[in-house]
Amino acid sequence: MISQQVLKPGDKLPSLRKLAQQLSVSIPTVKQAYYHLEGQGRIYSKEKSGYFLFNGEQNTLPRRCKLPINPTQVNKQSLIEQVYEGIHAPHEAKFGIANPVTAMGDEAILAKMMRSALKQAGEQLLQYGAMDGLLKLKQQIVQRYLHMGLSVVADDIVITNGAQEALAIALQCVTQPGDVVAIESPGYFGIIELIENLGLQAIEIPVCPDDGLWLEDLAHALTKHDVKACVCSTSINNPIGSFMPDSRRQSLLQMLVENNVTLIEDDVYGDLYFTKHRGKPAQYYAQPGQVITCDSFSKTAAPSYRVGWMLAPGHAARARRYKRALSCSSSLINQWVLAEYLASGAYDRHLKKLRLRLQENKQKMLACIRSAFPIETRISDPRGGCVVWLELGASIDGGTLFNMAMAQGISLTPGQLFSASERFQNCIRLSYGLPWQDKHEASLKRLGELVQVLSDKKRGP
Ligand SMILES: Cc1ncc(COP(=O)(O)O)c(C=O)c1O
């Protein structure tokens, strides 16, 4: 009806009941279809009025943000600390934590494998493991890269305590305090915190909601500043959910290589894609030394295992030294269980289900936001991962909304956390990586009301 222009921009769509009757399908089927259209930004719902067709011209994605053109000394730690503590406290609706496995965990299988590991090799598994990781886990990781067409050797892999440690080691391998590092903006606050702690400076490069890092802006920054490394999610960005196509990953790498800049790629959401295929890590296109890939099982299996890795051809010897100095080794028993989990095929089966569940959750969350938030709200359309990024009305402060929402048992992450400078004050990130329940719809409605209160207050009587 939309493509044949039976429905024109602004028209009301048929009611769920009417369309279900007309097409001889169930009402939930029509509702699901409307959720999808709403998620794509083609229709929107108004409370008690039904669904309406958007004006085709309307772009509802967050806009490209003007960022500082010079490197920034980062000073975000106290804000990050405050929000981090807040969002990890118990809440009715935990939209503040990006923990996709809670949408669909595989606890029963992992528990069984843990019991069997203890039975088989208990004494050995409670000791210190090899400093750079358990060989049989590394071999499983090598196999996974081989499936992506990437030929790597176990010696180039260092197992770490989550991707966070991998990122920290990678930065230390290629920078000195005071150096300039290019980062995504908005980008994951863990990287911003690392930059602050390592005494580095950040140059922020904007992220396009569709395709990831704006390469033109990066090219400009590279001509102006002596950038030593670029940390970037080559697959799916947190918090915007963009997906960088393979051709752009290649262009990104080429640009960095020409400027002698090491790419530190953060691929933690790589397996949680909603696109047809998984993107290839930039490492696939690189020569040794050009890219350090950081990844983990935190977003796909169990964040508490704290098992991640870095794939660092050309940097592995240095990375091992840092790993030893920082934490000796990572949990042997957890690595063992993960190796068994991967080898059994259960991990891949779980990933398939998790991706589907996250896509369902995304559609539900976007539908709720579109009906409950003021019409001027701009919403990203995640191509993977578990978070959505909202640009609220210009006068709304994400920090104030954070405090108001927390007081009502709803957690969220204020936008300021995702910038090394003071950008994104009117933005927030919400996670749909949770076991979706009716209470989440009610909480989103409540959140939409709070946003409305704030925008009415600013507008005045
Ligand atoms: C983009 C991104 N990179 C890295 C990490 C850190 O992952 P890990 O928990 O494996 O240390 C996170 C965690 O939230 C993340 O969102």
2-34 confidence digits (pLDDT tens): 777 788 888 899 999 999 999 999 999 998 888
Q: Both 34 and 85 in a single domain?
A: no
Residue type, 56: G
Residue owning the nearest CA to atom 15 of ligand 1: 188
Q: Both 33 and 120 in a single domain?
A: no
Q: Both 112 and 205 in a single domain?
A: yes
Rounded to the nearest 5°, which phi and psi values hold at 72? -110, 135
Q: Is residue 311 part of a domain?
A: yes
* Residue-wise pLDDT tens digits, 353-381: 999 999 999 999 999 999 899 988 999 99
Nearest to 62, CA basis, from 389, 396, 451, 364: 389
Which atom of ligand 1 lies closest to the CA of 187? 1
Rounded to the nearest 5°, which phi and psi values hold at 207? -110, 130
Hey, what are 197's tokens? 């702690």
Hey, what are 111's tokens? 């528990």
Name every protein residue with a CB atom under 6 angstroms from any ligand 1 atom: 98, 162-164, 188, 190, 233, 238, 266, 268, 296, 298, 303, 308
Which atom of ligand 1 lies closest to the CA of 98? 14
Q: Note if the bond before 186 is cis, omega within 30 degrees.
A: yes
Alpha carbon of 104 to ligand 1 centroid (Å): 18
Which atom of ligand 1 lies closest to the CA of 303? 9
Residue owning the nearest CA to atom 7 of ligand 1: 163
- How many CA within 13 A on the CB side of residue 328? 5
In angstroms, the CA 96 to CA 411 distance is 5
The number of distinct structural domains making up the chain is 2
Per-residue confidence (pLDDT) for residue 77, from 0 to 100: 85
CATH number of domain containing 11: 1.10.10.10
In angstroms, the CA 133 to CA 60 distance is 45
Residues β-bridged to residue 207:
213
Q: Is residue 189 part of a domain?
A: yes
> Beta strand 308-311 with 157-160: parallel, antiparallel or unpaired?
antiparallel
Q: Is residue 372 part of a domain?
A: no
In angstroms, the CA 90 to CA 73 distance is 33
Hey, what are 346's tokens? 């259960």
Residues of the chain where predicted confidence (pLDDT) is lower than 50: 57
* Residue range of the domain that includes 179: 72-89+106-346
Q: Both 154 and 297 in a single domain?
A: yes
Per-residue confidence (pLDDT) for residue 40, from 0 to 100: 62
Q: Is residue 452 part of a domain?
A: no
Question: Measured between alpha carbons, how far is residue 390 from residues 42, 235, 356 in Å?
Answer: 17, 20, 22
Alpha carbon of 164 to ligand 1 centroid (Å): 6
Q: Both 202 and 305 in a single domain?
A: yes
Alpha carbon of 403 to ligand 1 centroid (Å): 24
Hey, what are 28's tokens? 């939930």
Alpha carbon of 434 to ligand 1 centroid (Å): 17
Per-residue confidence (pLDDT) for residue 42, from 0 to 100: 75
Rounded to the nearest 5°, which phi and psi values hold at 236? -115, 125
Q: Who contacts 132 (Cβ-Cβ below 8 Å, separation ≥6)?
A: 157, 158, 159, 320, 323, 329
Per-residue confidence (pLDDT) for residue 60, from 0 to 100: 77
Alpha carbon of 162 to ligand 1 centroid (Å): 7
Alpha carbon of 386 to ligand 1 centroid (Å): 12
Which atom of ligand 1 lies closest to the CA of 164? 11
Alpha carbon of 267 to ligand 1 centroid (Å): 9
Which atom of ligand 1 lies closest to the CA of 237? 1
Q: Who contacts 394 (Cβ-Cβ below 8 Å, separation ≥6)?
A: 426
Nearest to 166, CA basis, from 178, 176, 180, 156: 156
Per-residue confidence (pLDDT) for residue 257, from 0 to 100: 98
CATH number of domain containing 147: 3.40.640.10
DSSP string, 239-297: TT--B--HHHHHHHHHHHHHTT-EEEEE-TTTT-B-SSSPPPPGGGGPPTTSEEEEEES
Which atom of ligand 1 lies closest to the CA of 298? 10
Q: Is residue 229 part of a domain?
A: yes
Q: Among 298, 334, 388, 431, which residue has the most ligand 1 atoms within 8 Å of its CB, making it the best to mutate?
A: 298
Alpha carbon of 64 to ligand 1 centroid (Å): 24
Question: Measured between alpha carbons, how far is residue 348 from residues 70, 113, 144, 191, 353 in Å?
Answer: 43, 16, 10, 28, 9
Q: Both 7 and 83 in a single domain?
A: no
Alpha carbon 153 to its chain's center: 27
